[in-house]
Structure 1
Amino acid sequence: MRGDVQAGFYQAMALAEGGRGEEAAEHWINLPDTALSPSLRQKKTQALLALSNNSLEGMPQAEALAGIRLRLRSGSLIPAEINALLSMLSEQERTQAQLHLARQALNRGSAEEAVPYLAPLQQARLGEAHQQQLHLLLLQQQLLSGKPSRQPAAAGSDPFARQKEAALRRLAAGDTVAALQQLRQLTRLTPFEEDALLLSASLHNARQETEDAYELLRQALLLNRYSIPLLEAYALQSLRMGLENYAQDALLELEISSPSERHSRFLTRYEALRESLPGAAGW
């Protein structure tokens, strides 16, 4: 039952992010709170508030709700509403939201719609992770428009080396919490650092934070959907959480995209995990 409810929650999230807010809201409303974990109950409440037309002014956690509304409803908001929501965010959260809005516009095939979000970022002093994301978006914009884009200077062969080294030092010292915090700063900024994402998911699982691990991988795949390591990790994580249908969907994608020898080795891991889980005999 709980696995079905979790699947329903993330199905609604996918609907909302795909511009089907009314369907998402209906899914969330129909999910019984008693079957949701405390963290998912909170996320459900925030998502429903973000999808509503209620003003966020004066609400508790207004900044967080503004960010969620931009993520879930950007396609239905007029520019004035988007600008008002952006003004409620801290500088770092606003940068992340602008990158997200630009990415959505470009994924819709509109280089012009991305300009209001990319232009101010090109003038800003960004951290290395944000610079890499901006660089990729500008390249995508250039491909769509056929015009040269102004690109930020390269930040070195590995712009995330310092963050990764700091996380590994903390992990080696036995400070899992600090290591996870360091990795979280990195993984929330970019879905392309697969090693950091996989390590972060493993640490979440070690701390029994399976929902956080699942959400981390799910979000990364929204932007890096053809990553074989991320698909493999997502399949295993879905299996751990009882979301077998989602695990099977990932397996189907891996069957197409993963080299046969690698996929054969992965299936051995997958089946071993499947057999080790409670209730496996009934599957």
Structure 2
Amino acid sequence: MSYKKITETPSLHDNLEQMDTTSMLTKINEEDQKVANAVAEVIPQITKLVDALAERFSKGGRLFYIGAGTSGRLGILDASEIPPTFGMPHERVVGLIAGGDTAIRKAVENAEDDKLQAWKDLMEYDINSDDVVVGIAASGTTPYVLGGLADAKKNGLLTGGITNNPGSPLAKLADITMAINVGPEFVTGSTRMKSGTSQKLVLNMISTALMIKIGRVKGNKMVNMQLTNTKLVDRGTRYLMEGLHVDYNEAERLLIKHGSVKKALDAEKK
């Protein structure tokens, strides 16, 4: 191994079990404060990925996340929030995890070690060259992710990588790599902590910027959100009050009539 596996380096803190609760939480918080700065270092790479995604989305392309364990769950979380937040079909952003849906809640033994399975999972979606595959692996060595990205590249797809080990196999394999160096974890090797937080931040940035660029946000409002509960209907109503300069009752009537903030704005704004 010709690179330093930062995710496995010893914690900067020791004798954790001897700390009082406040000290323990303070030290965790101090470590967490390093994460946003580490993410800032990879903004140029995130920019490249988002711009490439926007271009492919205009042709009907899709975004696939592949990962195992915490990384896989974070990809699924990000994908699952796109339809309610931005009103996009579920099949446009898809999260896949080693071991399948069972692994979302419970670890599936050895699932991440199968380097052939990710491409099989992707093929179920009739994946094509307009699609983009982003592999997520804190270690940068997960066979499920590496195999999926390698097969995606062979088949002409653009690939992205999110890892916390610069110089890792994943960092070298992906076309666009976001290698986020958050340093050692508070509990040595526990990548659900800072590494996972950094992955969540990057995923937020990728999907949010992409949705803005393809027109799913107006001003700073989620005008395409799904109106699936009272809170969201109220939010949409208030958006329309502001956008159309009408009272609450009229805004709510127009929202219900048109079915979304965007449709109401497009139909009613003079």
Q: Please report the TM-score for the alignment, with normalisation by the length of structure 2.
A: 0.29
Point out the structure with the larger helix share.
1
Structure of higher CA gyration radius: 2
Point out the structure with the larger strand share.
2
Q: Please report the TM-score for the alignment, with normalisation by the length of structure 1.
A: 0.28
Larger RCO (CA under 8 A, 6+ residues apart): 2
